[in-house]
Amino acid sequence: DVQMTQSPYNLAASPGESVSINCKASKSISKYLAWYQQKPGKANKLLIYDGSTLQSGIPSRFSGSGSGTDFTLTIRSLEPEDFGLYYCQQHNEYPFTFGSGTKLEIK
């Protein structure tokens, strides 16, 4: 299975700041990485797929980059609603696998 190493585990930032979350695959997954946001009481939200493609309806302050084994999710100008748990997931091969999650908290 492809192991996904996500960092940092926790992240604290203030509204208006920019943050980055990293995801490293144990082998090349080409461009096939997705990012999700998870918040209590809400359905998980697909933010980015294919490494850098913004899902419909997602604000442009979210962006993804990377290919091969190293990927980054960047959130510019944090809004209060952006705080929550973020996961990466490789969708290059079965079984699909997820990173361990990053908790983005308000500083």
Partner 1 sequence: EIQLQESGPGLVKPSQSLSLTCSVTGYIITSGYDWSWIRKFPGNKMEWMGYISNSGSTNYNPSLKIRISITRDTSKNQFFLQLNSVTTEDTATYYCARIGYGYNFDYWGLGVMVTVSS
CB of 16 to partner 1, least distance (A): 27
Residues numbered 41-60 forming contacts with partner 1, rule: CB under 8 A: 41-46, 49-50, 55
User: Under a CB-based contact definition with an 8 Å cutoff, are residues 69 and 25 in contact?
Assistant: yes
3-state class (DSSP) for residue 88: strand
Q: How many residues bind partner 1 (CB under 8 A)?
A: 23
Residue type present at position 73: L
Tokens of 53: 């493609």
- Alpha-carbon distance of 48 to 50, in angstroms, equals 7
Can residue 20 be called a binding residue for partner 1 (CB under 8 A)? no
Give the binding site for partner 1 (CB under 8 A): 32, 34, 36, 41-46, 49-50, 55, 85, 87, 89, 91, 94-98, 100-101
